[in-house]
Amino acid sequence: MDLEEYRRRARSWLEANARRSRDEDDPGADGVAAAKAFMADLYDAGYSGISWPAEWGGQGLSQAEERAFAEEAKDFTLPTYVFSIGLGMCGPTLVDLGTPGQKARHLRPLLRGEEIWCQLFSEPGAGSDVAALQTRATETEDGWVVSGQKVWTSVAQHADWGLLLTRTDVDVPKHKGLSMFVVDMHAPGVTVRPLRDMTGRAHFNEIFFDDVHIPAENLVGRVNDGWNCAVTTLLHERLSISSGVGMGGQKDNPVAFEALRHTVDTGDPLVRDQLVELYIRSRALALFNQRLAQETKAGIFPGARGSAAKLLLAELSMFQADLATSLAGPEAVAYEDGGRLADSISLAPALSLGGGTNEIMRNIIGDRVLNLPPEPRVDKTVPFKDLKTGTRQ
Amino acid sequence: MDLEEYRRRARSWLEANARRSRDEDDPGADGVAAAKAFMADLYDAGYSGISWPAEWGGQGLSQAEERAFAEEAKDFTLPTYVFSIGLGMCGPTLVDLGTPGQKARHLRPLLRGEEIWCQLFSEPGAGSDVAALQTRATETEDGWVVSGQKVWTSVAQHADWGLLLTRTDVDVPKHKGLSMFVVDMHAPGVTVRPLRDMTGRAHFNEIFFDDVHIPAENLVGRVNDGWNCAVTTLLHERLSISSGVGMGGQKDNPVAFEALRHTVDTGDPLVRDQLVELYIRSRALALFNQRLAQETKAGIFPGARGSAAKLLLAELSMFQADLATSLAGPEAVAYEDGGRLADSISLAPALSLGGGTNEIMRNIIGDRVLNLPPEPRVDKTVPFKDLKTGTRQ
Amino acid sequence: MNLVLTEEQRELRGTVRSFLAAASPLPDVRRAAESESGYDPAVYRRLNGELGLAGLIVPQEYGGAGAGYAELAIVLEETGAALLPGPFLATTLAAILLTELGDKELLPDIAAGTTVATVALDGDRALNGAEADVVLMVDGARVRAVRGGGRTPLTTLDPTRRQARVEAVAGEAVASSEAGMERVRDLFAVAVAAEQLGVLRASLDAIVAYSRIRVAFGRLIGSYQGVKHKLADMHCKLEQAESIVRNAAWAADEAPGELPLAAALAQAYVGRACFEVARDSLLLHGGIGFTWEHDAHLYYKRAKSDEVLLGPPRIHRARLADLLEL
Amino acid sequence: MNLVLTEEQRELRGTVRSFLAAASPLPDVRRAAESESGYDPAVYRRLNGELGLAGLIVPQEYGGAGAGYAELAIVLEETGAALLPGPFLATTLAAILLTELGDKELLPDIAAGTTVATVALDGDRALNGAEADVVLMVDGARVRAVRGGGRTPLTTLDPTRRQARVEAVAGEAVASSEAGMERVRDLFAVAVAAEQLGVLRASLDAIVAYSRIRVAFGRLIGSYQGVKHKLADMHCKLEQAESIVRNAAWAADEAPGELPLAAALAQAYVGRACFEVARDSLLLHGGIGFTWEHDAHLYYKRAKSDEVLLGPPRIHRARLADLLEL
């Protein structure tokens, strides 16, 4: 079947089976059940894991088909939010680094939506600096015992499995004493607590591990090689984010140029000029994203340049929410109904913090795009137990 | 005599003897002669070195009289530019650190304007990082021999004496192998060359030392204690700059708010709003400077907070020259006569570079005003000969 | 012009600061904000009783302290920095308005702290409109004091300060004049700018303190120029904002002719600077700054709410353009 | 929309870049700029002969290469990056105007490189007006080709490109239309933006290179976040500027309906970004960037001159507002 035929068939399947409405951050129990049913259909139709190895439940096709389906799917909204961490990060990591047993056990249920995954790297004391994490895994006769705390974990409240990064050796430098595990989120000692963020809602969770037992066969990669495993996961994360960055999400956004132009007083020349500024910034970023997408299609991999797009999107999000509220005045911040502008200003910092802060993005651009000399590092050689980490009063 | 009486007498002397016109950057030989004559009058009237020790030619009065005279003098323009380095930096350093012989020899001629001084610290490879300087002083039987290059030296073309910072030991860390000297600018081996800057004019000089002999008695402070001596000089520099920062200089400035409001099209609401922005920034800084001045009068020493005023002035200078040229359009950059806007945009970077770059100012504010933790330093312990400095291809 | 605090003014600042630190620390602010009235009346009783702040600028003949705007600005800076919930600013604005109008009826109870008053700023919206005993409604040069009537609480971005829509029922007329209302609006601008200065300062203090104890990649984050240089720029905003607020307060007290320009500058500069600093403080905290439990978002939301409290910020710039005769 | 260079376009870029690096390096640019004519005619002979750049967008029937704006933008980016002195941009603007007007008389000599032409952009001012054989003077929809007449050289901020005031003597009329002139102005905007992209890129490249070799306080300055983060922001401007220029060139070639918005965006964004990057590049060089001998000021002055070349920058923003029907 040629690519166009593949694309045509994908589209007609989508038209018959997909919604066009918005996906929801937290679909609730009913939503999760519906999402699982949809994933099963998607899998059975052959559109889940399109480029994953056939041996482990994928379709064994190429990136071309994967991309063709994704492009067609952009016009629809698939209820795949709760699976996004598994499909985008955990699954691909197991494909690359999992044991045959792990692949056989986990990949097919993941692709078919039977099991939901989350990723457990960040900690209160290890945000940008993930490798500074403190959660300890101690070897026992038949496996490992884990204690510690993770944070910023999406979909953990629905998750069956987690990809967990732990410290297994404190006597070596921080990057050299980490190990990665598959952890059963239903195991005794795992507590999932919703994390309320500044919007007043719980988009994320905190996870507490209290002497949680993990069987030996759940180790991913080698002991103390967890940092390299995590880099693989983060690479997949970056790919799955950058493929979506800035390409959508503005359509229903009340503070985006197209919405704002209808809600502000363009009779005021100063207001008009501020809308022009917003247009300039939005269009500049949109064109950059389109260029990156065209380059990717042409085989030029954007690499760290995607960090520039992410940084610019974070800044644009903040700029436009700030502008919209300033233009609207008092009613943006005190209202009877609506509150979409207040929501936007509350949510605006999210993109500047999640997936790497603006400072981290600037470091990446400087180091990997411009090849500037690195910051001298004090944390690469010191044994972890002697290293300052987290917050010190 | 009470302070009011002092002030009244000072004012009447100034009214009789001072000009009200602008001072000139480079007055030429005639200008220098006139300036020297004025300084002699000023000294003989008792208004030069007001708070310097009477023993060495000063008036031995307090800071109160010094300040009273300075305040009265603000309404006049004294032709003291060529003496400013000597009066503001070199002289006070000798008062603090000079030998009795040096004080006896140099201070009175300096105060009376008979001899002009310059300061020789910066080098091409040691700008912000003055302590990385390379100019070597090697001890001989009867003194020292100096070779090296200095740069950014104001008034050197008229100078009789210089305060010179040199390296006397390369086997110790960079701050610990420096020594300070008084150097005769007419000595054999001293070459002064005008340094053309981006405005096309020569506001500064480069100085070349080619085996210049300095007698032993010209050492200031102790051998290898030059960094501490330099800190004294730089403290005096900062005081003499910050007492003037942002307090004047806007009156005749063609890109300042008061001038610009008369030359741009304020019928355009966008132009008007940009002028408002310029007003806001100018006034914000002016009020901050006034507050610092009032605090100083009230005995609250501004210290490193003066660096904030300097940083803001540098940014304002760039902002207003940029704004003025943008508002004026093509005629700002191509003209038959005038060219004051082009001059202003050419000169605008000067304040961001001279007296410490914007980055250095931000470091000072962070370290000394906000007490933030210091950058880890690699250059404080390494012997100078093993240290990377300057520009490395 | 006086831009430096006197010894007495520094004492006042110290007193208010210590009082708020002890009586209304941030955990208490959160509890009060979630309570039914949105604030702790016991704190207000002490604030108005021991410290006499409700009557600070009310003339002595009506039971107030007859203090000036220099003192009021000091107090508002502290209540802003502490994010004091409840009607302190609302009642202060009412006291400003009534004092300018030469009111004799309402001021004594306001000064005594027994009447909670507010001003409908924007037609029928008022800070703490649901909690206030009296709402002053302004229509051109006419001012009416409304008691009772419908009060519809609004949802607010800022959880620490409530607003309500007030039904425009009939009320007692308060003497008034057109010229006086201009000055009143300028005085409101000065008062809000003083609060913004406090919010700005507290936001900066918080991130400076955190930069001294938070480690990333083995170093305290305040040692990275990426953080340090941003904090330096924020400090520059603080220095200028403080200078502008002191000048505006001085003009309110001593130089009525300079007040309009000084007040418009205060809103145009300090409102923006306050939001920028609160925003950057939140962002530089990293992920923890995005959590509900951290205080950064409270300052951020107060800063944004204050920035638009007296109208869209462009009106202050437009007023500057007018006053400068551009 | 095509925002990525083709293989052929990359080759063109490589050819022009190598040629300019060899034939007009910056020391030669300085010498040429101080010479009587302000440029090196020998370089232009090769540029127009070997490379055929004078006729790049001139239709083949008039002896040109008939290339598109995508190619022209590539060339102008390189001549901008190299700060090529002399009338290359001036003659290009003239060729754009004449091609749009369907001229048959002047284009062959321009394409052959034997006529130096320019356009009076702003009434009677023209880039390289003193050196040009022909000045095209535009008055509404009328265009005249003026030879001779008084030419008064102007003092320019940018030492590498001259301007002159041109006496409006009689000249031959060139066919013209009102609608066409709108498009011509858009095409000028695209051409200037392409040059600005080159100036921006070269300014950034210079400071990136210097940050890798300059040491302060024992470390390469590029390792300090104070420098690194600024350079990262400058890189973000470059990425966006390049995307905008490619889009505008594509619109000029393929999508006339999208050209006005794309062209106004190009001037509004790229003009500003170019000056900001050139300014920050100069400043980050430290003291050496302030010296005449260093090249940073040449880019800075070109960037400022280009920013206002087509009028005060606000006119591009005003045009955006109109085109967006705000």
Lowest mean pLDDT among A15-19, A382-386, D293-297: A15-19
Domain-located, residue D1: no
Nearest 5°: CA angle at C309, between C306 and C312?
Answer: 110
B300 to chain C: which residues are within 8 Å by CB? Answer: 4
Q: Is A123 annotated as catalytic?
A: no
Lowest mean pLDDT among C122-126, C191-195, C311-315: C122-126
Per-residue pLDDT at C178 = 66
C6-12, long-range: CB < 8 A, 24+ apart: C9/C70, C9/C71, C9/C74, C12/C71, C12/C74, C12/C75
CB B237 within 8 A of CB B356: no
Per-residue pLDDT at B24 = 54
Strand duo D163-166 + D125-127: pairing = antiparallel
Question: Which CATH number applies to A250-369?
Answer: 1.20.140.10
What is the average pLDDT value for chain A, to the nearest integer? 91
Are D168 and D24 part of one and the same domain? yes
Per-residue pLDDT at A244 = 46
**Minimal-distance CA residue of chain B relative to A378:** B376
Whether B25 has a pLDDT exceeding 60, the answer reads no
Per-residue pLDDT at A243 = 53
C321 to chain B: which residues are within 8 Å by CB? Answer: 272-273, 275-276
**Minimal-distance CA residue of chain B relative to A376:** B376
The phi and psi torsions of B298 (rounded to 5 degrees) equal -85, 5
Per-residue pLDDT at A28 = 76
Q: What is A3-116's CATH superfamily?
A: Acyl-CoA dehydrogenase/oxidase, N-terminal domain (1.10.540.10)
User: Number of A:B CB contacts under 8 A?
Assistant: 10
Higher pLDDT, B9 or D174: B9
CB count within 10 Å of CB A153 equals: 23
Whether D218 sits inside 8 A of B389 (CB atoms) is yes
Q: How far is B203 from chain A (nearest CA, A)?
A: 33
Per-residue pLDDT at A369 = 97
Domain-located, residue D2: no
Q: Got the DSSP string for C236-296?
A: HHHHHHHHHHHHHHHHHHH-GGGHHHHHHHIIIIIHHHHHHHHHHHHHHTGGGGGBTTSTH
Q: Chains meeting A at 3+ CB pairs closer than 8 A?
A: B, C, D
Q: Is C224 on the interface with D (CB under 8 A)?
A: yes
pLDDT in tens, A88-144: 999 999 999 999 999 999 999 999 999 999 999 999 999 889 999 999 999 999 999
CB C103 within 8 A of CB C225: no
Per-residue pLDDT at A241 = 60
Start-to-end CA distance of chain B, whole Å, equals 64
Domain-located, residue C230: yes
Paired tokens of D196: 């600005």
CB C12 within 8 A of CB C73: no
Which of D2, D4, D203 to substitute to test the interface with A, most A CBs within 10 Å?
A: D4
Lowest mean pLDDT among A299-313, C28-42, C256-270: A299-313
D82 by Cβ neighbours in 10 Å (0-12 / 13-18 / 19+) ranks as buried
Q: What is the mean pLDDT of residues D93-104?
A: 94
Whether C265 sits inside 8 A of B280 (CB atoms) is yes
Whether D211 sits inside 8 A of A373 (CB atoms) is yes
Q: What is the pTM of this model?
A: 0.94
Q: What is the DSSP letter of A192?
A: E
Residue range(s) occupied by CATH 1.10.540.10 in chain A: 3-116
Whether A22 has a pLDDT exceeding 60, the answer reads no
Of A295, A312, A372, the CB nearest to D231: A372
pLDDT in tens, A318-375: 999 999 999 999 999 999 988 999 999 999 999 999 888 999 999 999 999 999 999 9
Q: What is the mean pLDDT of residues C282-291?
A: 96
Write the CATH number for C68: 1.10.540.10
CB C66 within 8 A of CB C56: no
Q: What is the mean pLDDT of residues C303-308?
A: 98
Per-residue pLDDT at A5 = 94
Closest C-alpha to D193, from D292, D299, D72, D68 = D72
Which of D217, D225, D227, D283 to substitute to test the interface with C, most C CBs within 10 Å?
A: D225
Separation between Cα atoms, residue C89 and residue C135, nearest integer Å: 13
Per-residue pLDDT at A248 = 40
Whether B276 sits inside 8 A of C265 (CB atoms) is no
Q: How far is C220 from chain D (nearest CA, A)?
A: 14
User: Number of B:D CB contacts under 8 A?
Assistant: 148
Q: What is the mean pLDDT of residues D4-19?
A: 97
User: Number of A:D CB contacts under 8 A?
Assistant: 122
Residue range(s) occupied by CATH 2.40.110.10 in chain A: 118-226
> pLDDT band at D215, cuts 50/70/90?
very high
Whether B71 has a pLDDT exceeding 90, the answer reads no
Percent of chain A as helix, strand, coil, to the nearest 5: 50, 15, 35
Whether D248 has a pLDDT exceeding 90, the answer reads yes
Q: What is the mean pLDDT of residues C122-141?
A: 91
Are C125 and C185 part of one and the same domain? no
Whether D232 sits inside 8 A of A359 (CB atoms) is no
**Minimal-distance CA residue of chain D relative to B127:** D287
Separation between Cα atoms, residue D292 and residue D294, nearest integer Å: 5
Are C91 and C104 part of one and the same domain? yes
Domain boundary (C151, C176, C201) is at C176
pLDDT in tens, D180-200: 899 999 999 999 999 999 999
Write the CATH number for D217: 1.20.140.10
Are D123 and D140 part of one and the same domain? yes
Are D122 and D12 part of one and the same domain? yes
B70 by Cβ neighbours in 10 Å (0-12 / 13-18 / 19+) ranks as middle
Separation between Cα atoms, residue B328 and residue B339, nearest integer Å: 12
Whether C232 sits inside 8 A of B362 (CB atoms) is yes
Q: What is the mean pLDDT of residues C290-311?
A: 97
Residue range(s) occupied by CATH 1.20.140.10 in chain B: 250-369
Q: How far is A85 from chain D (nearest CA, A)?
A: 28
Domain boundary (C176, C196, C218) is at C176
Whether B330 has a pLDDT exceeding 80, the answer reads yes
Whether A373 sits inside 8 A of D219 (CB atoms) is yes
Q: What is the DSSP letter of D267?
A: I
B318 to chain D: which residues are within 8 Å by CB? Answer: 279
Q: b or e along B139-165 (b: 16 or more beta carbons within 10 Å of the residue's beta carbon)?
A: eeeebbbbbbbbbbbbbbbbbbbbbbb
Of A285, A300, A372, the CB nearest to D212: A372
> pLDDT band at A246, cuts 50/70/90?
very low
Per-residue pLDDT at D174 = 82
Domain-located, residue C60: yes
C226 to chain D: which residues are within 8 Å by CB? Answer: 225-226, 228-229
Domain boundary (C143, C176, C209) is at C176
> pLDDT band at D173, cuts 50/70/90?
confident
Q: How far is C58 from chain B (nearest CA, A)?
A: 28
| Domains: count for chain C | 2
What is the average pLDDT value for chain B, to the nearest integer? 91
Whether B245 has a pLDDT exceeding 60, the answer reads no
Restricting to A residues 257-276, those with a Cβ less than 8 Å away from any Cβ of C are: 268, 270-271
pLDDT in tens, D115-158: 999 999 878 899 999 999 999 999 888 899 999 889 999 999 99
pLDDT in tens, A60-84: 998 888 888 988 888 887 888 899 9
Are C72 and C192 part of one and the same domain? no
Q: Got the DSSP string for C8-74?
A: HHHHHHHHHHHHHHHHS-HHHHHHHHHSSSSS-HHHHHHHHHTS-GGGTTS-GGGTS----HHHHHH
Residue D18 belongs to domain spanning: 7-176
pLDDT in tens, C15-47: 999 999 999 999 999 999 999 999 999 999 999
* From A65, A123, A206, A237, active-site residue: A237
pLDDT in tens, D263-321: 999 999 999 999 999 999 999 999 999 999 999 999 999 999 999 999 999 999 999 99
CB A214 within 8 A of CB A163: no
Helix, strand, or coil here: D160?
coil
pLDDT in tens, D28-42: 999 999 999 999 999
Per-residue pLDDT at A250 = 59
* From B65, B141, B237, B375, active-site residue: B237
Whether A245 has a pLDDT exceeding 50, the answer reads no
pLDDT in tens, B199-233: 999 989 999 999 999 999 999 999 999 999 999 99
Are D160 and D239 part of one and the same domain? no
Helix, strand, or coil here: B61?
coil
Percent of chain D as helix, strand, coil, to the nearest 5: 60, 10, 30
What fold is seen in the domain B118-226? Butyryl-CoA Dehydrogenase, subunit A; domain 2 (2.40.110)
CB count within 10 Å of CB C8 equals: 9
Per-residue pLDDT at C193 = 98
Q: What is the mean pLDDT of residues B139-155?
A: 95
Restricting to D residues 259-298, those with a Cβ less than 8 Å away from any Cβ of B are: 275, 279, 282-283, 286-294, 296-297
Whether A234 has a pLDDT exceeding 60, the answer reads yes
Q: Which residue bears the tokens 């210097």?
A: D210
D269 to chain A: which residues are within 8 Å by CB? Answer: 280, 284
Q: What is the mean pLDDT of residues B338-342?
A: 92
Of B132, B318, B353, the CB nearest to D290: B353
Q: Chains meeting C at 3+ CB pairs closer than 8 A?
A: A, B, D
Per-residue pLDDT at A391 = 85
Separation between Cα atoms, residue C279 and residue A344, nearest integer Å: 14
Q: What is the mean pLDDT of residues C221-241?
A: 98
Whether C251 has a pLDDT exceeding 70, the answer reads yes
Q: Is C217 on the interface with D (CB under 8 A)?
A: no
